[in-house]
Amino acid sequence: MNLITSYISNFISRKGSYVFLATIFARIFSFLAAWFALKLIPNKELGEVLFAYNIIIFILPISGLGLHQSFIRYGALLKTTEEKNSLFLYVFKKGFWVSLVLIAIISVSAFFIDFQFSNTKTYLILLSFIIIPSFLLEIIKAQLRLSHNNKSFAYTEIAQSIILLITVIILSYYFAEFGYAIALLLSPLLTALLFINKININFKLKTKLPITDATFWKYGFFASLSNVVTQLLFVIDILLIGYLLADTEMVTNYRYISLIPFSLLFLPRVFIATDFVAFTEKIYDNMYIKKYMKSYMLLFLIVSIFLMFLSYFFGEFILKLLDEKFVEYSTTFFILMVGISGIFMFRGLYGNLLSSIGKAHINYYIATIALLLNIVSNYYLIPKYGIRGAAITSALLMWFTGIASYVWFLYLYKKLPLK
């Protein structure tokens, strides 16, 4: 238990408690923003905005070609504040122009696509401009983390969600769906402007760093692609249930049954977001990394056992709180909870450790293989077992991606010049 006590103590000392609470509050405020939008805007018009926004959400990870991902990893390995600030300026300038090109590509492409909804084209072009402020906000967050200022990093999460809530209420009330689209655009922009002075960057710096080579760009690109493919892994089940079962009620059932298990995935993200810079700075310290791995895995082993116990014995009660009709899917609920344990103990940690040693492309390959296996497996299991089949596929692949990340990290880590 000393390992866990020490691990949590270090987590709190790095202001991890702020990140944890900020994540909770951000989710609450985001939910409230979505609820107010639903109340203030007719479903049809709101659906048109959300359809376009979901397309942009999938593209956001590759804004700036993923340079924000390169920034956090390579920035953690730099020794001086001046070097980190210089890297910020390089990523900011290059990422801005790349993001602008991406917006142009989306805008031009929108004119050649025959969308199902009449206003999708307009909203897609408008919402594509979220890419620039979102990229700027990401590198501001990264700079705060590199400065070990996790407290301010946590405040950015809360600030963005509060700004989103306020702007959604005001703009949706006066301008309906168009106002909602503007609110989505303003929330990252206003948050970035609010916190840019916190990072203390000298914008006149012109130091050229040797690390900004092709490898630097490749890392960010593959890290971003990995995030896109991982998002698809969570969406593909819903799409295939709708396609193979041709039953919208089953889509709704699976969406709500998976809501709690998938929502719990914020737990490992909070720890990794707090600790990524710390363990990347010491990635060549073999003893430190081994201790971190043991501490993390022991903590999330206990969390996983607790959650599986809870879902097995009280799953029906939990689902009943959502809706009486979901009780019959308690086995599906338990299967998904077993699945997320694989992410808790393996994928959450070792996927990020792979990124920490500069092997983000391995995460992309693992996620791509998992996506292909997901499609093949679901084509067999969904028609046979319904939404339970989708849950079985997801659970197996969560463990597959986690263990694959674990094996690859151990193999590659041994090849590094460790201390």
The whole-number pLDDT of residue 237 equals: 85
State the alpha helices, DSSP H only, in 323-357.
330-342, 348-356
Contact 223, 360 (CB under 8 A): yes
Rounded to whole angstroms, what are the CA distances from 9 to 5, 15, 16, 299?
6, 10, 9, 12
The whole-number pLDDT of residue 116 equals: 67
The whole-number pLDDT of residue 254 equals: 86
| Distance in angstroms between the alpha carbons of the first and the last residue of the chain | 27
The whole-number pLDDT of residue 80 equals: 86
The whole-number pLDDT of residue 260 equals: 87
User: Which burial class, exposed, middle or buried, applies to 393 when counting CB atoms under 10 A from its CB (0-12, 13-18, 19+)?
Assistant: buried
The whole-number pLDDT of residue 117 equals: 67
The whole-number pLDDT of residue 297 equals: 95
The whole-number pLDDT of residue 143 equals: 93
Contact 408, 362 (CB under 8 A): yes
The token pair at 106 is 């989306």
Calpha distance 237→242 (Å, rounded): 9
State the alpha helices, DSSP H only, in 111-258.
120-128, 131-146, 150-195, 214-245, 248-257
- The reported pTM is 0.89
Q: Mind listing the pLDDT tens digit of every residue in the chain (419 residues)?
A: 678 888 889 889 989 999 999 999 998 998 899 889 888 988 778 878 888 888 888 888 888 889 999 999 999 988 888 889 899 999 999 999 999 999 999 999 988 877 766 778 888 899 999 999 999 999 999 999 999 999 999 999 999 999 999 999 999 999 988 999 999 999 999 999 999 988 888 777 777 788 888 999 999 999 998 888 888 887 788 878 887 887 767 877 888 888 889 889 999 999 999 999 999 999 999 999 999 999 999 999 999 999 999 999 998 998 888 778 888 989 999 999 999 999 999 999 999 999 999 999 999 999 999 999 999 999 999 999 999 999 999 999 999 999 999 999 999 999 888 76
